[in-house]
Amino acid sequence: MTSVRVGVLGATGVVGQEILSVLEQRRFPVGTLRALASARSAGRKVQFGGEQIPVEAAGPSAFHGLDYVLASAGANVTRELSDSIRKSGAILIDNSSAFRMRPDVPLVVPEVNPEALRDHKGIIANPNCVAIILTVAVAPIHRRVGIRRIVVSTYQSASGAGLAAMKELESQARHVLDGERPVPRALPHPIAFNVFSHNAAVEESGYNGEETKVMNETRKILGAPDLAITATCVRVPVLRAHSESVNLTLREPLSEQEARELLAKAPGIEVVDDRARNVFPMPSVASGGDAVYVGRIRADLSQPQGLGLDLFVCSDQLRKGAALNAVQIAETLVKG
Amino acid sequence: MTSVRVGVLGATGVVGQEILSVLEQRRFPVGTLRALASARSAGRKVQFGGEQIPVEAAGPSAFHGLDYVLASAGANVTRELSDSIRKSGAILIDNSSAFRMRPDVPLVVPEVNPEALRDHKGIIANPNCVAIILTVAVAPIHRRVGIRRIVVSTYQSASGAGLAAMKELESQARHVLDGERPVPRALPHPIAFNVFSHNAAVEESGYNGEETKVMNETRKILGAPDLAITATCVRVPVLRAHSESVNLTLREPLSEQEARELLAKAPGIEVVDDRARNVFPMPSVASGGDAVYVGRIRADLSQPQGLGLDLFVCSDQLRKGAALNAVQIAETLVKG
């Protein structure tokens, strides 16, 4: 394989760090690696391939000579830098929400819609973490019988809000155990021993920004503009890995057993569905792994036989929900 | 009000303790209070009304002279003792699942179906905690427009599994923070910084026992045998108070605004729905309180206008989900 010149934008962040790990672990054919971040982080070092890579400030001239930029900075930062990246000739694989819903930008989960990569114009968007995990889990079912409607409620970990939120969960848990009052800083509400509606701003529709992303992006990834979907996004005191309770209304009948067989052989999915031992997908098992774990696969008794299905899904959203998916996109492009 | 002779069965358990608190706080007209528990706990003392009450072993002859027995023991224990309680002349208000689905036993949430108390034959069942919280939240909507279908996913605290599970969450959290591996004992899986499918045994249907209770009991309390409902019950690392993500399909249209007004004036409900400040129901606020908190009230965009509604609900399941509801049943009976 050709060796590839890769820039990681946001290299010091929690997803950026994970991108570096995934590139290493998957032996991505990195020729040159450049670590880019805000001016604030310039001069720091990151680990890659046993070397210390100095972090460079991500200005407009920082992308010269790169083939791919894997970006995990804020939407505004990436939007500002995207012209410079394009002019440098590098392909931008962006983990922010900046370009996801633009009609000329493919929004890609390689297990689900790799064909969308064909038409890219220099920018490929990496979807929202909940949408990635959800679409990997339901795409095999959607392709077989069609999904009419999804009701999804999430159990999202602190890491989705970044490193500061993870550290806050840990330090706050200690404070609460010591009988002190939790003081939220990185997150708007106490996260230790608590759950709360996702911290994204609530929009005119009554849905918050995270829910709107999940709903719109799921439709785009599945290529199903008419899919009915409602999402309720909730933070839980878990360090990493998101869980999702998923209820499906199908267009044509599919038995529980057919669904299980379909999911068991689908790419990227590991079925964990041991009813006798009460073992199902859990963040503690999913954390650090690559799979989307699917379990609690059962016929929904509230819908006509064969037309309703319940699932419980779990995956490390820093990996499959972010870094791994971005690297998989790059791998697909490199392989041509 | 007449003074009432009350026995609390399971007085040393987490719900029994809460029943004692609620009786005190609500100034229930207690004349005599007797604390009953297993022989193992006999001789211990419980606090009530500034006094130390000795715990008596709950044998067949223990109920003589009581007007009400508020029971929070296991289903088997209560089933065994129920004949003795009836023969003693006391009315049994039972928090276990032993009698809930028996056609001749009223299953009562006083805000929802107090009329069911009229026909009791000496036993009244206190519903499952998730079902109590759910029915308080949705009953006003059901009465106004009819609910066709409910999809509910829960975020259930450790206290639902008893005192040992609460202590396990605390000690396990310390272990995890100290870098040690969590060793589950009271619960089947690690609970600190993790979520897992509810520990009730999974049945032939694919639903676990907790989910089956929620589905059947909700139908019985609402008096809606044809209500379609699917539940996914999940444990989260919260000490007390359960949360529920609730999706409704309505029979007749109801706007978001009408729903909010209806809920705001309904008994037992406190609407917490501040979109601008992103403040919604949370266990940290619900814990120790009496209300069922309802928020995230919004029209479900995945259903025809006015026919779908999403809610997020939270309440202390040791109080409204168990002890408070039982005491409210007793109050309703005492008032006649």
Which of B174, B284, B312 lies closest to A197 in CB terms?
A: B312
Q: Which residues contact A270 (CB under 8 A, 6 or more apart)?
A: A291, A292, A293, A294
SS3 label, residue A32: strand
Closest chain A residue to B204, measured at CA: A275
Nearest alpha carbon to residue B134 among B272, B328, B320, B271: B320
Copy the structure tokens of residue B26. 């609500």
Whether A155 and B229 lie within 8 Å, measured CB to CB:
no
Whether A153 and B245 lie within 8 Å, measured CB to CB:
yes
8 A C-beta contact, residue B272 and residue B243: no
Residue type, B148: R
Q: Is B151 on the interface with A (CB under 8 A)?
A: yes
8 A C-beta contact, residue B218 and residue B229: yes
pLDDT value of position B1: 53
Chain B residues in contact with A195 (beta carbon < 8 A): 155, 236, 238, 243, 282-283
Which candidate in B129, B198, B233, B314 is catalytic? B129
pLDDT value of position B29: 96
Copy the structure tokens of residue A71. 């970006």
Chain A residues in contact with B174 (beta carbon < 8 A): 177
ipTM score assigned to the predicted complex: 0.96
Residue type, B162: G
Which A positions 244-273 lie with beta carbon below 8 A of chain B?
245, 247, 256
Chain B residues in contact with A238 (beta carbon < 8 A): 193-195, 237
Active site residue B129: yes
Which candidate in B120, B142, B198, B242 is catalytic? B242
Q: What is the distance between the alpha carbons of residues A151 and A233, in angstroms, rounded to a whole number?
A: 11
b/e sequence B98-117, b meaning 16+ C-beta within 10 Å = bbbeeeebbbbbbbbbeebe
8 A C-beta contact, residue B123 and residue B86: yes
Chain B residues in contact with A161 (beta carbon < 8 A): none
Whether A169 and B199 lie within 8 Å, measured CB to CB:
no
Low-confidence residues in chain A, pLDDT < 70: 1
Chain A nearest CA to B234, separation (Å): 9
Q: What is the DSSP string of A289-328?
A: ---EEEEEEEE-TTSSTTSEEEEEEEE-TTIIIIIHHHHH
Chain B nearest CA to A176, separation (Å): 9
Q: What is the distance between the alpha carbons of residues B332 and A132, in angstroms, rounded to a whole number?
A: 51
Total number of residues shown for chain B: 336
Average pLDDT along chain B, 336 residues, taken 10 residues at a time: 90 95 96 95 94 95 96 94 96 97 98 96 98 98 98 96 93 96 94 98 98 98 98 97 98 98 98 98 97 98 98 97 97 94
Side-chain half-sphere of A224: how many Cα atoms within 13 Å? 22
In the A/B pair of chains, how many CB contacts fall below 8 A?
A: 172
Task: Give the model confidence (pLDDT) of A108-134 as tens digits.
Answer: 999 999 999 998 999 999 999 999 999
Which B positions 224-243 lie with beta carbon below 8 A of chain A?
228-230, 232, 234, 236-239, 243
Q: Where do the DSSP E strands lie in A133-286?
A: 147-155, 196-197, 228-232, 234-235, 242-250, 269-271
pLDDT value of position A1: 54
Active site residue B314: no
Total number of residues shown for chain A: 336
Q: Which residues contact A268 (CB under 8 A, 6 or more apart)?
A: A111, A136, A290, A291, A292, A320
Which B positions 289-308 lie with beta carbon below 8 A of chain A?
295-303, 308
